[in-house]
Amino acid sequence: MNQPLHDRGVISRYKAYLPVTEATPVISLNEGSTPLIHSPKLSERTGAEVYLKFEGLNPTGSFKDRGMTVALSKAVERGASTVICASTGNTSAAAAAYAARASIRCAVILPAGKIAAGKLVQAFAYGAKVVAIRGNFDDALRIVREFGGVDGVAIVNSINPDRIEGQKTASFEIIEELGDAPDIHILPVGNAGNITAYWKGYREFQSAGRSTRRPRMVGFQAEGAAPIYLGHPVEPHTVATAIRIGNPASWEGANNAVKESGGCIDIVTDQQILDAQQWLASNEGIFVEPASAASVAGLLKCLSSGRCTTCPLPLRAGGKIVLTVTGHGLKDPEAPVKHGGFAPIEADADLTAVRRVLD
């Protein structure tokens, strides 16, 4: 509880719950401890207490850092000299940053032309070797899996259980902050590692006596990339690149989380996602990337229709709802600019002209 402020990463905070020992070198960028921000406007609209877990404030701008600190620490402990991952963007940004920190090599396999600008530049800046394949994320992950047996190479996708272990710490933080688990937890679902991780975290803290209950887990997929909702793999299409996944690696983990918690997997359209992104930024001052806005879009959709299409979302007055907003809006500036038609109003360089356009 009393680590110095320069040592507040998730391994340092939660080592008793993580697969680390004294022999594990801790590769950290002080990830985690992200704010749980109360949302007055969503609370008013739902009648519940709504909070946003803003994971875009992690060191590389997404929740992937929580998993990557554990994955890189364990990879270095086992003697890896290279880490490799398939990515829709944020995994590669996190892997590259933590590999730089650990002074080992990082290779990332990306679907060509499908990575948001901010994420791609991160991979380069942190010094990763970047390979763009002519295929989608699922193809990239298949290739990475084939690296499984190569000496000295560690896979740091969420098929690596160390990633799930690190990511579960977000649930711990929420319980510590609220004093107990919320009633409902809503998050976007792509490869389904994160919903699996949150559910693991909620269960573990309850077993440890740190909370009295567990939330219903509600996951939202994009309508054009909704394999779990539909029950079969798909060719994924959505503006929300971080959840553009057609055959999730942690499919079973998502199904278990939903079944055991009494939650559901539902869908939102790209239009609903982009509207929610803009709504959240302009109403609550929180700018998230499109995939992250899927959780907000989902809550708004359930409100307008009274319920999810797959499960009655049991909103109750005074209940607590936590939404994970998974990544920072600056990761992908193109999508909201295009959607909002944003452009500055031009004016001559004098007060009268500027006042005229402002009035």
Ligand X SMILES: *Cc1c(COP(=O)(O)O)cnc(C)c1O
Residues that bind ligand X (CB under 6 A): 62, 64, 90, 158, 188-194, 242-243, 289, 291-292, 326-327
Q: How far is the CB of 251 from ligand X (least distance, A)?
A: 10
Extract the tokens encoding 265: 């997997």
Q: How far is the CB of 290 from ligand X (least distance, A)?
A: 9
Give φ, ψ of 146 to 5 degrees. -70, -15
**Nearest to residue 162, comparing CAs of 254, 296, 67?**
67
**Could you tell me the maximum CA-CA distance found in the chain, to the nearest angstrom?**
69
Residue nearest to ligand X (CB): 327
For ligand X, the closer CB: 92 or 211: 92
Amino acid at site 44: E
For ligand X, the closer CB: 123 or 242: 242
Amino acid at site 352: T
Amino acid at site 273: I
- DSSP helix/strand/coil, 301: helix
Q: How far is the CB of 344 from ligand X (least distance, A)?
A: 27
Q: How far is the CB of 228 from ligand X (least distance, A)?
A: 10
Identify how many contiguous H helices and E strands the chain contains and give both numbers: 15, 10
For ligand X, the closer CB: 49 or 61: 61
Q: How far is the CB of 289 from ligand X (least distance, A)?
A: 5
Other C-beta atoms closer than 10 Å to the C-beta of 352 total: 8
Q: How far is the CB of 62 from ligand X (least distance, A)?
A: 4
Other C-beta atoms closer than 10 Å to the C-beta of 121 total: 13
Contacts 24+ apart (CB under 8 A), 35-44: 36/173, 36/174, 36/177, 36/178, 36/322, 37/284, 37/286, 39/284, 39/323, 40/284, 41/283, 41/284, 42/284, 42/296, 42/299, 42/321, 42/323
Dist. CA 210–CA 221, nearest whole Å: 30
For ligand X, the closer CB: 169 or 326: 326
Q: How far is the CB of 355 from ligand X (least distance, A)?
A: 40
Q: How far is the CB of 354 from ligand X (least distance, A)?
A: 37
For ligand X, the closer CB: 11 or 228: 228
For ligand X, the closer CB: 51 or 315: 51
For ligand X, the closer CB: 237 or 356: 237
Amino acid at site 353: A
For ligand X, the closer CB: 49 or 270: 270
Dist. CA 223–CA 309, nearest whole Å: 12
